[in-house]
Structure 1
Amino acid sequence: MAGLKAFGVPTQNIVVSLAGYYAVNDGGGGLFYWDSGATEADNNGTVIIPASNPGSGRWRRTLTDKDYNVKWFGAKGDGTNDDTAAIQSAINSLPARGGTVYFPGGVYSITSTITVGNGDGGTNFSTKNGVKLIGEGGAFGVDDPNMRPTVLMCNATMPAAIDVRGRISDVHIENIHIRCILNATVGIKLTAVSGTQMRNVKILHYTEVGLFIIGGNAPVGNYNIFNEFDNVNVASTHNNSICLYMDGNYAVQNDTWITSWRNCRFDTVNSQNSVCAWFKFVDSNSFYRCHFACYDSSSNGIIFDAQANNDFPSGMAFYDCSIYNTVVYEDATHKIRKNYFYGNGTYDNEVIPTHPKLIGFTDDGRNFNMALQPLSTMTANEIGNVQWINKGLAESVTLPAGGEWEYDILLVNISTGMFNRVGGIAAGGSVVNNTANVFKFARVKRLKA
């Protein structure tokens, strides 16, 4: 590249082949043509001004595809060279409608935050959308640093490794391993984003929050919506840290909602007083086959925090998830609404939620906090009243007090897959079944007062 800049101003429109940015075949080469009428600023990658600094005339890279390779802009990916400016220049050089910034396999050292978009989360929306940061892989299960495909390494203190500034749409971050090495406060921060996709991303060694998702300020609409996260692994190795933090702006009703998570893991490892996921002003987000894992008793799996946002979190749904435990923060005037768990894990030291607004059933067939309603509008004392009584492995079925009741009980042995059914008529208050090691689902009907 230095040779191209020193080439001088040609007397006619010609094409030059650049063999590499620093050296032959280092990935930064390509074809450049001379555009005598161009006046754009030099971006060190696709638009080059000769060293003589003419008022007009620029070398332009011939773009054979839509991907902007960070090595075109001088990134080395050798773990030593400071690649911050090159990466940022590649992002900034994309057109307004966006495009792909490609990171070939390597370790890219950064010394300040990489920004995507130029919004402020308020009235100034990003003038650029559709930015995609794509690497060669997030290095899942790879311990050898020489074998990790694409790594972003934070080699100086910074507020965040990547900061996505909205309102902004259709940002993709894929196949990248982010190592904060206790230099970055936040791994990735997303503000007022929609249509975001994050896949095969690993975030490690931040000091406060791994993945920080926050709603924007006024106007209404600077919320987070229609985002998707797949195979995202966030791990806390630092005490008092949070893997995933999701909030909005309650005062202006910009929340984080309608977002899906699939096959993700949030892990506090052995850090103390840490949290896998902290939810505040959030609504209708879904998690499928995700893990919220803790290995120190001082840490928590999920915190549902309503203290500054009454009626939220709300409508969160967890399908076949493993959750170490759940904690609810409320006060006299701020309460959560209902949140749901389907097939909640029980085989890895998980604690079944006890808060009445955390409702669901476990992977071994037990329901929790379900208020099954009678099948009629009759009161409990009226003849014909029907009620449901569900009991666990070591619990007995006792009929409601008073009168005479008909009962029909389904006995389920999850471990053997066997079912049995018993029934009869007995006086109110009677213990009608105490079979051990089975779950009991009873329908009872009042026959006499």
Structure 2
Amino acid sequence: MPDIANLVHEVSTTTGTGNFTLAAVNGKQTFGGAFGTGGSDRFYYFISNRDVSEWERGTGHMSNATTLVRDTVVESSNGNSLVSFSAGVKDLTNDLPAEKQVSSDDLVAYAQPLDGDLTAIAALSTASFGRSLLTQADASAARTTLGFGKTELRAEWFGVTADGTTNDTAAMVAAFAAMESSGLPLILPPGIIMVDAGTLILGNGTTSAYSTKNCQCILGAGENAYLPPGSGVVSGTMIKARSGSSGRMLDVRGGIGGIKMAGFTLDGSGVASACLYMIGVSHSDFERLTLKQFTTNGLALIGRATTDSNIPSWCANNTFKNISITSDVNGSYAAGLYLDGDITSNRDPHRNTFIDVVIQVNKTTQNSYGIMLGMADSNTFIECDSNVVGTGQGHPLCLLNTDAAYPFPQNNFFYGCSLMGNTILVAGPGDIGDHIFVNHTTRDSEPLPSHPKLRGFSDMGEFFGKWLFQSAPTKQIFTSSGTWTKPTGCKLIKATIQGGGGGGGFVQPNGATKGASGGGGGSGGFVIKWLDVTSISSLTVAVGAGGAGGTSGNGSAGGTSGLGTSNVYGKADGGGGGSGSTTGNAGVYTTQGGAGGAASNGDINCGGNGGDAGFMLEAAQGLSGAGAPSAFGGAAAAKRQWGGGANLAGNDAVGYGSGGSGAIVTTSTSAANGGAGGAGVVIIEEFY
């Protein structure tokens, strides 16, 4: 917004459409004195010719102490275009345009429906509204007293420009103070908000008192974690550290709870030690944030000791979703995500959930870490990626024990996470507690964890953890339905479940010149299920039969295989039967293959493959539909007729759950049956 100042008035005899040379007026401010030089659209100007009906209103700047540059014309006597001024004396003044001015009558009229405090209104009118122009402080006071903006606060009200150049530190501090005192959400504008690192603080908790400023909400216009550095593109809202400043970008001090942050970037510019640093924060939500260019920590959750044992100064029960944490300016021992607490007072970060958090930091001459867990307990990481890149030393995950008397960190859970760039580092004077990894990602050659307290299995079904099982696994294979009974000492099973394959289609020609071919059967669904059986003694096992080949039309569908009552622990439906034909055709036509069986209720669910279609090019030339292969292979091959010959029945499947092929006939009147689908199977591996 262009600037305004009091009692700015100069005169000029300049003519034409160019810049104006100004002369001072006694008792008035000059434009150069009020606004300085340089920039563009720095202030509002009003020009009027004393002798001719010529006037112009716009925004401009001073190129030097006496030269006014007319940057933008807003309104004029020349159809709102630039005026070519005639000879004569012109008055040049600065004021706020009428449409932007608010009178005390306007405020009082607006306030009446809100049941405002009339005494306070009168006091405000006496103190401030006896003029046409309201200051920023007047506007803030009016909103607070009259109840304006009851649903939100906007950072622009406090002078935030977000232009990427102006120092917005004082305005942001004022906006934070208003947010904390009012309890209203603070809305940040799009653009780049330049602030001094170490100045933005949320909450006032100490070692002896709760924060009295809880339930704060900061919402930006969005963030884009993938804009290339130096692109010049502004996307959403960015709060960026000013060069020469130091400290943390945003400090949250508890015990404090009920915080909500979403939709903005914190950019440390290589000078801020941390982007988001939280002490004693609980039951808060953080979503769609980018934390970048820090030297020590992107996101830190810290518990601390207090003099009052009732103060919850741990960081607990917080949720972080869609967070990007990156830095290529981090120093040694930096951690993109850092969780730690005071071990002697049991103030540990725990029960925090991290979903779709992506972390990348540079390796350094010492060590750097994507994630560092110190005294951290029972936190959950879901589909998170941590990567260390470049040359030097670094680890995607460091589990650091800081006191041999306590087995921390412990009980942290990782689901579908990718830890890239190096191995997991376990360090410290004492042993750590157990950590569980499920579907640990290995698709980019990430190494499997090797420490005995790191237990689980990869996305490829590889188990790890040296004392997860006490003896070699055993196996039971079910080719027909029955009951699995748990062997003594069995703790976990892996069930591989294959549904039955569909049968191929039957065909019959229609007359001596109309051949026919049948479609192939689909394969059954495929399921893998890992199941803790410490409290289970037996399970129902269903094995689906293979679908019969068609004898008068379509092949039959394969049967459903499954585990547990109502297949609750895995269900693999049978493949569909291939289509048959009883009419034949003298020209080109096709018959459809059977659909693949569905899969559900497992940890890995793969639908079956569809059978191939049968086709005829003419009455004596064609190919029947091949059966679909299952996860065990063994599909039935197609039958071919090329120029006539004997009628051919479909082939039976030879692999568990695969489809039978369709039959083919040419110019005779006899029919041929489709091939049978393969029966399903359930394989249960038992771990002790």
TM range (shorter): 0.7 to 0.9
Matched, 1:223 2:305: no
**CA-CA distance at 1:312 after TM superposition:** 1.0
Query: 1:204-257: CA deviations, max 9, x gaps?
Result: 111111111101321332111110001111112123221011111112111100
* Whole-angstrom distance in 2 between the partners of 1:359 and 1:72: 53
Query: 1:46-87: CA deviations, max 9, x gaps?
Result: 5349xxxxxxxx995652342111110011110111111111
Match of 1:159 among 247, 257, 265: 247
Q: Do the aligned partners of 2:375 and 2:402 also contact (CA within 8 Å) in 1?
A: no
1:198 partner letter: F
* Whole-angstrom distance in 2 between the partners of 1:223 and 1:387: 38
* Whole-angstrom distance in 2 between the partners of 1:60 and 1:81: 29
Identify the residue that residue 327 of structure 2 maps to in structure 1: 236
* Whole-angstrom distance in 2 between the partners of 1:388 and 1:71: 60
Q: Do the aligned partners of 2:276 and 2:298 also contact (CA within 8 Å) in 1?
A: yes
Q: Do the aligned partners of 1:290 and 1:322 also contact (CA within 8 Å) in 2?
A: yes
Match of 2:377 among 264, 283, 300: 283
* Whole-angstrom distance in 2 between the partners of 1:367 and 1:129: 45
Identify the residue that residue 101 of structure 1 maps to in structure 2: 186
The TM-score normalised by the length of structure 1 is 0.73
**CA-CA distance at 1:176 after TM superposition:** 0.8
Query: 1:127-170: CA deviations, max 9, x gaps?
Result: 11111111001113233333321010100322100001111111
* Whole-angstrom distance in 1 between the partners of 2:399 and 2:291: 23
Query: 1:375-428: CA deviations, max 9, x gaps?
Result: 9xxxxxxxx9878999xxxxxxxxxxxxxxxxxxxxxxx99944999xxxxxxx
1:336-351 aligned at under 5 Å gives the runs 336-351=432-447
Q: Secondary structure in 2 aligned to 1:231?
A: strand
Match of 1:366 among 462, 476, 497: 462
Alpha carbons of 1:44 and 1:61: their partners in 2 closer, same or farther (altered >3 Å)? farther
Identify the residue that residue 210 of structure 2 maps to in structure 1: 125
Identify the residue that residue 400 of structure 2 maps to in structure 1: 305
Matched, 1:134 2:231: no
* Whole-angstrom distance in 2 between the partners of 1:290 and 1:45: 47
Query: 1:181-218: CA deviations, max 9, x gaps?
Result: 11111111101001221111111111111111101321
Structure 2 portions without partners, runs of 5+: 8-42, 45-95, 109-119, 128-134, 473-486, 494-604, 607-629, 634-654, 657-682
* Whole-angstrom distance in 2 between the partners of 1:117 and 1:311: 32
* Whole-angstrom distance in 2 between the partners of 1:225 and 1:44: 38
Identity %: 22
1:305 partner letter: L
Aligned residues: 371
Alpha carbons of 1:86 and 1:385: their partners in 2 closer, same or farther (altered >3 Å)? closer
Structure 1, 357-366 or 345-354: larger mean CA deviation: 345-354
More helix by share: 2
Q: Secondary structure in 2 aligned to 1:140?
A: coil
Alpha carbons of 1:35 and 1:364: their partners in 2 closer, same or farther (altered >3 Å)? same
Alpha carbons of 1:63 and 1:385: their partners in 2 closer, same or farther (altered >3 Å)? closer
* Whole-angstrom distance in 1 between the partners of 2:209 and 2:443: 48
Alpha carbons of 1:141 and 1:444: their partners in 2 closer, same or farther (altered >3 Å)? closer
Alpha carbons of 1:236 and 1:321: their partners in 2 closer, same or farther (altered >3 Å)? same
**CA-CA distance at 1:37 after TM superposition:** 3.8
1:117 partner letter: G
**CA-CA distance at 1:261 after TM superposition:** 0.6
**CA-CA distance at 1:118 after TM superposition:** 1.3
Q: Secondary structure in 2 aligned to 1:349?
A: coil
Alpha carbons of 1:418 and 1:99: their partners in 2 closer, same or farther (altered >3 Å)? farther
CA RMSD of aligned residues (A): 3.9
Identify the residue that residue 288 of structure 2 maps to in structure 1: 200
Q: Secondary structure in 1 aligned to 2:179?
A: coil
Matched, 1:189 2:289: no
Q: Secondary structure in 2 aligned to 1:146?
A: coil
Identify the residue that residue 424 of structure 2 maps to in structure 1: 326
Q: Do the aligned partners of 1:45 and 1:61 also contact (CA within 8 Å) in 2?
A: no
* Whole-angstrom distance in 2 between the partners of 1:29 and 1:237: 47
Alpha carbons of 1:282 and 1:5: their partners in 2 closer, same or farther (altered >3 Å)? farther
Alpha carbons of 1:319 and 1:388: their partners in 2 closer, same or farther (altered >3 Å)? closer
Identify the residue that residue 171 of structure 1 maps to in structure 2: 259
Q: Do the aligned partners of 1:187 and 1:211 also contact (CA within 8 Å) in 2?
A: yes
Match of 2:344 among 251, 255, 260: 251
* Whole-angstrom distance in 1 between the partners of 2:445 and 2:302: 31
1:243 partner letter: G
Identify the residue that residue 517 of structure 2 maps to in structure 1: none
Q: Do the aligned partners of 1:97 and 1:130 also contact (CA within 8 Å) in 2?
A: no
Identify the residue that residue 233 of structure 2 maps to in structure 1: 146
**CA-CA distance at 1:36 after TM superposition:** 2.7
Alpha carbons of 1:313 and 1:386: their partners in 2 closer, same or farther (altered >3 Å)? closer
Identify the residue that residue 15 of structure 1 maps to in structure 2: none
**CA-CA distance at 1:308 after TM superposition:** 2.8
Query: 1:253-309: CA deviations, max 9, x gaps?
Result: 111001101111111146553210110111110011000112236210111111237
Q: Do the aligned partners of 1:29 and 1:72 also contact (CA within 8 Å) in 2?
A: no
Q: Secondary structure in 1 aligned to 2:255?
A: strand
2:426 partner letter: V
* Whole-angstrom distance in 2 between the partners of 1:316 and 1:444: 23
Alpha carbons of 1:443 and 1:68: their partners in 2 closer, same or farther (altered >3 Å)? closer
Alpha carbons of 1:214 and 1:97: their partners in 2 closer, same or farther (altered >3 Å)? farther
Q: Secondary structure in 2 aligned to 1:206?
A: coil
* Whole-angstrom distance in 1 between the partners of 2:205 and 2:489: 58
Identify the residue that residue 195 of structure 2 maps to in structure 1: 110
Q: Do the aligned partners of 1:173 and 1:197 also contact (CA within 8 Å) in 2?
A: yes
The TM-score normalised by the length of structure 2 is 0.49
Alpha carbons of 1:371 and 1:169: their partners in 2 closer, same or farther (altered >3 Å)? same
* Whole-angstrom distance in 2 between the partners of 1:177 and 1:268: 17
* Whole-angstrom distance in 1 between the partners of 2:212 and 2:107: 28
Q: Do the aligned partners of 1:167 and 1:222 also contact (CA within 8 Å) in 2?
A: yes
More strand by share: 1
Q: Do the aligned partners of 1:236 and 1:274 also contact (CA within 8 Å) in 2?
A: no
Structure 1, 28-37 or 186-195: larger mean CA deviation: 28-37
* Whole-angstrom distance in 1 between the partners of 2:187 and 2:6: 24
* Whole-angstrom distance in 1 between the partners of 2:263 and 2:210: 27
Q: Do the aligned partners of 2:180 and 2:216 also contact (CA within 8 Å) in 1?
A: no
Q: Do the aligned partners of 1:339 and 1:359 also contact (CA within 8 Å) in 2?
A: yes
**CA-CA distance at 1:350 after TM superposition:** 1.2
* Whole-angstrom distance in 1 between the partners of 2:217 and 2:316: 18
Q: Do the aligned partners of 1:312 and 1:337 also contact (CA within 8 Å) in 2?
A: yes
